Structure 1
Amino acid sequence: MGKFASWLGASLGFTLGGPIGAIIGFAVGSFVDGFKLDGFNQEQIDYERGRQTQTRGRRRPQQSQTQSGDFEISLLVLASVVIKADGKVDQRELDYVRQHFVNMYGKERANSAFRLFSGILKKKVSVRQVCMQIREHMTHASRLQLVHFLFGISKADGNVTASEEEEIRKIAGYLYINQRDYVSIKAMFFNAVDSAYKILEITKSATDAEVKKAYRKMAKKHHPDKLQDLGPEHIKVAQEKFQKIQEAYEKIKDERGF
């Protein structure tokens, strides 16, 4: 229990309060009765949730840096929504989440995260409230990374169902990810004829100059350096997304011969 408490204690930033904090409290309580974390018990987490509800609608300054643990917790909560979107929990999707966390954080930390995830899966999540909390504290680049990961989960079983895609689209909207960015990320997981153009957020009618301009814009928007605050483990994952943009550009270049 000590290792789990240590991991979770280090993860608590903005995710302690509000709806995400309540979900964490429920998840931990589902396998540890009366568990307390650094002086915060379920009643205090519920209080924080109520306090956020009372202050909703007031503009609060966005947190300049999102801690790695906050991103981790947010990812687990949203992943649970997507995995349950088609009415079942597919083992391949669970394996994808586990392996992703092993790759990023190592086996010990991943085991703690997945233990919490098993509790989160039992909780009904208010997607809108969770996303409101995330977007108040997380940068646009980090929110783009969340959406990218969610598509990876849904594709883990080889097929993105309509219900999964609809859930991710809804999440993206609540996170203030515009339609162009959403379509671009989605195209990274489908081998459609025009996927390369969609990834660069342009159409086939774009001129060569417009293609080059679009690539520079996308490379800047999705550059891994924008996630430096989250730590080196997230830079590696961001590089995979960045590679998709580079591959899309190279494909169009080869087709057009410039």
Structure 2
Amino acid sequence: MLFAIIFGGLIGYAVGRFPGFLVGAAIGAFLFQRIKQRLIGKIQNLQAGFIESMFAVMGALCKADGVVSRDEIQMAETMFARFRLNESQKAMARDAFNRGKSPDFDLDAELNQFLQSTGRQPAFLQMFLQVQVSAVAADGVVHPAEHEMLVRIARGLGLPESQVDQLEAMLRGAHAGQAGGSPNYSTGQQLEDAYKVLGVSPSVSDTELKRAYRKLMSENHPDKLAGRGMPESMREMAEERTREISHAYDVIKEARKTAS
């Protein structure tokens, strides 16, 4: 704001000396506040649209197998707490979830609306898909009907099917790392999933591997996403994503070190 006041004042001074400086400074301050208000409003609208579309699509996804179970409804409620939604946001999320469950819900139209509101930013789209994968697989398992719906959602967002595989691999890795996680999650499966998380093949060079890792970390940095309008309540999930990316990179590096 200080810059806007000084800049406006200098322009005013060039035109009308000291009186012009005062008028210019006042105009600069006024314009700064208007721009600031518009920017805040834009971010708030983006965040509201993110939450509404997120829960609407979640409702449709939970009904992918033909019925919405009590556990899936509880999962949605858990998401309210995880994303630290206030009461008005919770009400909006519930309405959106119920709208997504309705027989006449237009999934493609909802996804298109989300694309428009987010400016098709890749990291936002990936975060949206990550929420949907996490929602249907709290137990670490994605069922066939749910996977098919996730692929449809990915395509609707303009993302490749490999993004679904990447997120499911990330989910398996996170679930296996928890106490009492998947006992059948072998070292070979862990390494295979690590490559999927980074989106590279096992044949890539160490240089290419590092490049892919750094690119993903940069794209998914929580501060960068927050600056683009990601709701602060979703920072935890963004941080989880970067941790899983980092963990996958470590798994691959260790495997290559052992094999050499």
Percent pairwise identity: 25
Q: Does 1:137 align with 2:117?
A: yes
TM-score by length of 1: 0.68
Rate the CA distance shift 1:87–1:123 in 2: closer, same or farther, 3 A.
closer
Contact 2:200–2:212, Cα closer than 8 Å, also in 1:
yes
Instruction: Note the C-alpha offset of 1:115.
Output: 3.6
Rate the CA distance shift 1:212–1:175 in 2: closer, same or farther, 3 A.
same
Counterpart residue number, 2:148: 166
Instruction: Structure 1 unaligned segments of length 5 or more: list them.
Output: 1-63
What is the alpha-carbon distance in structure 1 between the residues aligned to residue 52 and residue 224 of structure 2?
Answer: 19
Counterpart residue number, 2:107: 127
What is the alpha-carbon distance in structure 1 between the residues aligned to residue 151 and residue 132 of structure 2?
Answer: 10
What is the alpha-carbon distance in structure 2 between the residues aligned to residue 107 and residue 71 of structure 1?
Answer: 15
Rate the CA distance shift 1:253–1:109 in 2: closer, same or farther, 3 A.
farther
What is the alpha-carbon distance in structure 1 between the residues aligned to residue 59 and residue 97 of structure 2?
Answer: 9
After superposition, what is the alpha-carbon deviation per residue over 1:151-198, rounded to whole angstroms, capped at 9, x for unaligned?
Answer: 111112553111101101101101111244333223212353400001
Instruction: Structure 2 unaligned segments of length 5 or more: list them.
Output: 1-41, 174-188
Rate the CA distance shift 1:99–1:78 in 2: closer, same or farther, 3 A.
same
Please tell me the residue identity of whatever aligns with 1:135. Answer: L
Rate the CA distance shift 1:183–1:226 in 2: closer, same or farther, 3 A.
farther
Instruction: Note the C-alpha offset of 1:252.
Output: 1.1
Instruction: Note the C-alpha offset of 1:134.
Output: 1.3
Output aligned runs, 1:96-245, within 5 Å.
Answer: 96-106=75-85, 108-109=87-88, 111-113=90-92, 115-117=94-96, 119-120=98-99, 121-138=101-118, 139-191=121-173, 192-193=189-190, 194-228=192-226, 229-245=229-245
Instruction: Note the C-alpha offset of 1:123.
Output: 4.7
Contact 1:223–1:242, Cα closer than 8 Å, also in 2:
yes
Output aligned runs, 1:7-46, within 5 Å.
Answer: none
Counterpart residue number, 1:3: none
After superposition, what is the alpha-carbon deviation per residue over 1:12-36, rounded to whole angstroms, capped at 9, x for unaligned?
Answer: xxxxxxxxxxxxxxxxxxxxxxxxx
What is the alpha-carbon distance in structure 1 between the residues aligned to residue 72 and residue 108 of structure 2?
Answer: 23
Contact 1:93–1:157, Cα closer than 8 Å, also in 2:
no
What is the alpha-carbon distance in structure 2 between the residues aligned to residue 214 and residue 88 of structure 1?
Answer: 39
What is the alpha-carbon distance in structure 2 between the residues aligned to residue 90 and residue 149 of structure 1?
Answer: 18
Instruction: Note the C-alpha offset of 1:132.
Output: 1.4
Contact 1:128–1:174, Cα closer than 8 Å, also in 2:
yes
Cα root mean square deviation, aligned: 2.4
Instruction: Note the C-alpha offset of 1:111.
Output: 4.2
Question: What count of residue pairs does the alignment treat as equivalent?
Answer: 196
> Greater relative contact order: 1 or 2 (C-alpha under 8 angstroms, separation 6 or more)?
1
TM-score by length of 2: 0.68
Rate the CA distance shift 1:157–1:181 in 2: closer, same or farther, 3 A.
closer
Rate the CA distance shift 1:221–1:115 in 2: closer, same or farther, 3 A.
closer
Structure (1/2) with the larger helix percentage:
2
Larger-gyration structure (1/2): 2
